[in-house]
Amino acid sequence: MKIKLFYFARLKETLKYSTEDLELPDESFTILKLKAFLAKRGDVWGQMLMGKLKVRAAINHELVDDKAVINDGDEVAFFPPVTGG
Partner 1 sequence: MTVRVQTEDFDVGLEINQLRQARKDIGAVVSFVGLVRDLNEGDDVTQLTLEHYPGMTEKSLSSIINQAKTRWNILDALIVHRVGTLQPSDQIVLVVVSSAHRGDAFSACEFMMDYLKTEAPFWKKEANSKGEHWIEAKSADDMARDRWKIEK
Q: Which residues bind partner 1 (CB under 8 A)?
A: 6, 8-10, 54, 58, 61, 63, 77, 79-85
Residue closer to partner 1, measured from CB, 25 or 84 = 84
Angle subtended at Cα 45 by Cα 6 and Cα 72, rounded to the nearest 5 degrees: 40
Q: Which of 78, 67, 73 is nearest to 29 (CA)?
A: 67
Residue 25 C-beta: closest distance to partner 1, Å? 27
What does the DSSP 8-state code read for residue 82? P
Residue closer to partner 1, measured from CB, 6 or 37 = 6
Residue 26 C-beta: closest distance to partner 1, Å? 27
Interatomic CA distance for residues 43 and 51, integer angstroms: 10
Determine how many CB atoms are found less than 10 A away from the CB of residue 11: 21
Residue 81 C-beta: closest distance to partner 1, Å? 4
Residue closer to partner 1, measured from CB, 4 or 36 = 4
